[in-house]
């Protein structure tokens, strides 16, 4: 156990888009809730779905493409706020404004708007009032909280429709039966409080470290590197660097599996069943197949340092050299 712990401590984690460690304050909030608040606190549907592709220039879903896809029976539009592989931020506020204008012109049920803000929260400002959404979902393990999610609804059951999928107890105002997981809820709340208080510091630190990472990668692998998170006219998350080192034996999975210190992934953990195939997200963004096959998603966190970056880039340099010598 001691040796294993020492080995793990030598590794450098750069997969913060997959999951983040809970902050000490979050762990304390969970522990206190387990000790002090241990008591009980309290159908199938068929839909016709239209998928709107992203632009191969900007890697964003474009506003006009969303509007063009609206049909007479459209009742809900769902757009992720930021992509978890490229880090590209979607023009959600503009989409919401256009749809609300469209709603005023339509003599029918209004179109509701949902966003998945899991990758954005804790990295950029997320304000439901500014965005204009009806629904917003988050999950704790993306911003240093436990693995528990939350759904924001603008006026649940009154201004905005909300119906239970399960039936039983009357918890959560009859919207979701089942005993609430108080410690995890407390941890999620504490993590959100930390984001509210410290977002500016978190964002500027991650942006600075990511830029340093990209500079070092460019310096070491000059002429044979492609950043798959840089798209014309698009803003990206401050912590996300999707990069390919070009070469016939330098597929992302192969490079990462031979690194001694770097812990990262080739893409989204929720698509890990895709094996070693190139990311369909990168392909849909116009990234060539041979480049997408070599992609690695490096996502820095609140505690990542320039020394970590130096060690990771050296690890990648040594790994690439090893793989090319084997070839």
Antiparallel, parallel or unpaired: β 12-13 and 112-116: unpaired
How many helical (H) and strand (E) elements, i.e. helices and strands, does the chain have? 10, 9
The reported pLDDT for the residue numbered 212 is 98
| Residue 122 to residues 151, 199, 202, Cα–Cα distance (Å) | 16, 6, 8
Domain 199-326 has CATH 3.40.630.30: no
Q: Is 216 helix (H, G, I), strand (E, B) or coil?
A: helix
Question: Which of the listed CATH numbers 1.10.260.40, 3.30.360.10, 3.40.640.10, 3.40.30.10 matches domain 63-187?
Answer: 3.40.640.10
Domain boundaries, the chain: 63-187, 199-326
High-pLDDT (> 70) share of the chain, %:
91
CA dist., res. 155 & res. 151, Å (int): 12
Q: Is the pLDDT of residue 55 over 80?
A: yes
285 is catalytic: no
- Residue tagged active-site, from 75, 241, 270, 285: 270
Per-residue CA distances from 242 to 85, 125, 313 (Å): 7, 22, 14
Neighbours of 33 (CB within 10 A): 20
Question: Would 63-187 and 199-326 be classified into the same CATH topology?
Answer: no
pLDDT in tens, 291-314: 999 999 999 999 999 999 999 999
* Cα distances (angstroms) measured from residue 165 to each of 43, 47, 147, 177: 6, 15, 21, 9
Using alpha carbons, list the distances in angstroms from residue 63 to 67, 74, 106, 231, 253.
6, 16, 18, 17, 34
List pLDDT tens digits, range 30-49.
Answer: 888 888 776 666 545 567 89
Considering only 173-182, 250-259, 283-292, which range has the smallest mean pLDDT? 173-182
């Amino acid at each position: 156990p001691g040796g294993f712990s020492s080995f793990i401590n030598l590794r450098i984690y750069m997969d913060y888009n997959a999951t983040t460690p809970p902050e000490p304050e979050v762990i304390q909030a969970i522990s206190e809730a387990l000790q002090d608040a241990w008591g009980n606190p309290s159908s199938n549907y068929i839909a016709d779905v239209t998928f709107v592709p992203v632009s191969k220039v900007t890697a964003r879903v474009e506003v006009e493409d969303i509007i063009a896809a609206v049909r007479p029976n459209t009742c809900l539009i769902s757009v992720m706020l930021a992509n978890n592989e490229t880090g590209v931020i979607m023009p959600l506020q503009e989409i919401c404004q256009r749809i609300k204008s469209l709603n005023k012109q339509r003599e029918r049920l209004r179109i509701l708007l949902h966003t998945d803000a899991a990758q954005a929260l804790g990295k950029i400002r997320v304000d439901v009032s500014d965005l204009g959404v009806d629904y917003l979902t988050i999950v704790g393990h993306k911003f240093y909280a436990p693995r528990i999610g939350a759904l924001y609804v603008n006026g649940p059951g009154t201004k905005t429709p909300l119906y239970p999928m399960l039936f039983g107890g009357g918890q959560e105002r009859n919207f979701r039966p089942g005993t609430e997981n108080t410690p995890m809820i407390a941890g999620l709340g504490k993590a959100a409080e930390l984001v509210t208080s410290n977002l500016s510091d978190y964002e500027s630190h991650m942006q600075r470290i990511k830029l340093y990472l990209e500079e070092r990668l460019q310096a070491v692998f000059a002429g044979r590197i492609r950043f798959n998170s840089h798209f014309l006219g698009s803003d990206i998350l401050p912590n996300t660097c999707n990069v390919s080192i070009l070469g016939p034996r330098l597929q992302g999975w192969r490079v990462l599996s031979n690194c001694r210190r770097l812990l990262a992934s080739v893409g989204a953990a929720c698509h890990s069943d895709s094996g070693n195939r190139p990311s369909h997200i990168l392909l849909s963004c116009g990234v060539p197949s041979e480049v997408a096959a070599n992609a690695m998603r490096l996502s820095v966190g609140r505690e990542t340092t320039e020394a970590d970056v130096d060690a990771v880039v050296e690890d990648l340099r040594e790994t690439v050299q090893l793989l090319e010598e084997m070839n």
